[in-house]
Amino acid sequence: MQTAIYPGSFDPITVGHLDVIRRAANMFERVIVCVVANANKKTLLTLEERKEQAERVTAAFPNVEVDSWNGLLVDYAKQFDKPVVVRGLRALSDFEYEFMMALTNKKLNPGVETIFLATDEKYMYLSSSAVKEIAAFHGDVTEFLPPEILDDVLRKYQQEGS
Ligand code: ADP
């Protein structure tokens, strides 16, 4: 059974991420959303919160699982047979970073292939950072976040602000 791993910070998980997950779930028998702890990024949500939210929004997908990892993706991938890493591409600006990561991962573990799913144009301008910026100024993020997690993310901002 071929496993696809969709790694990311998911801080928070957006409807753009969910679209990539839904499409990957139609292409692969098993998809693992891997919430990664990124030492270079300060996150709004803890690793546990991000994982739990990803679990909640993917609960309806029978072939999608959620995991978390604090380390190199290539080390995580070692437990699977010929895993495929799925990443999303929004604009040309994503390309250079994603291409460099894919080549680096391939160098570290030649058994790991990366494939890219082009964003749906509806989500082209959607990123977790944009959502956070809008939410921080009390803008409306309803259409960007899955309804199951909207209140939790907004509550986090109220806590931060208090
Ligand atoms: P990272 O911190 O690893 O970039 P993110 O959680 O920001 O993690 O994103 C995970 C993956 O999802 C990345 O490949 C990113 O390009 C992709 N992605 C994020 N938002 C979208 C979107 N709106 N449409 C398609 N892909 C997306």
Check which CATH number belongs to the domain holding 156 and give it: 3.40.50.620
Cα 96 to Cα 91, 92, 103, 126, 139: the distances in Å are 10, 8, 11, 18, 30
Determine the distance from the C-alpha atom of residue 136 to the mean position of all C-alpha atoms in its chain, rounded to a whole number.
21
Domain that holds residue 78: 3-160
Count CA atoms within 13 Å of residue 65 on its CB side: 8
Atom of ligand 1 nearest to the CA of 41: 2
Structural domains of the chain, count: 1
For residue range 26-46, list pLDDT tens digits in order: 999 999 999 999 878 889 999
| Residue 114 in tokens | 């990366």
Residue nearest to atom 9 of ligand 1 (CA): 8
Atom of ligand 1 nearest to the CA of 118: 25
Kindly indicate the confidence band of residue 161, based on its pLDDT and cuts at 50, 70 and 90: low
Please indicate whether residue 69, judged by its CB atom, sits closer than 6 Å to ligand 1: no
Q: What's the confidence (pLDDT) of residue 122?
A: 95
Number of H helices, E strands in the chain: 6, 5
Please indicate whether residue 77, judged by its CB atom, sits closer than 6 Å to ligand 1: no
Question: What is the pLDDT averaged over residues 83-94?
Answer: 93
Residue nearest to atom 3 of ligand 1 (CA): 8
pTM comes to 0.95
CA of 58 to the centre of ligand 1 (A): 16
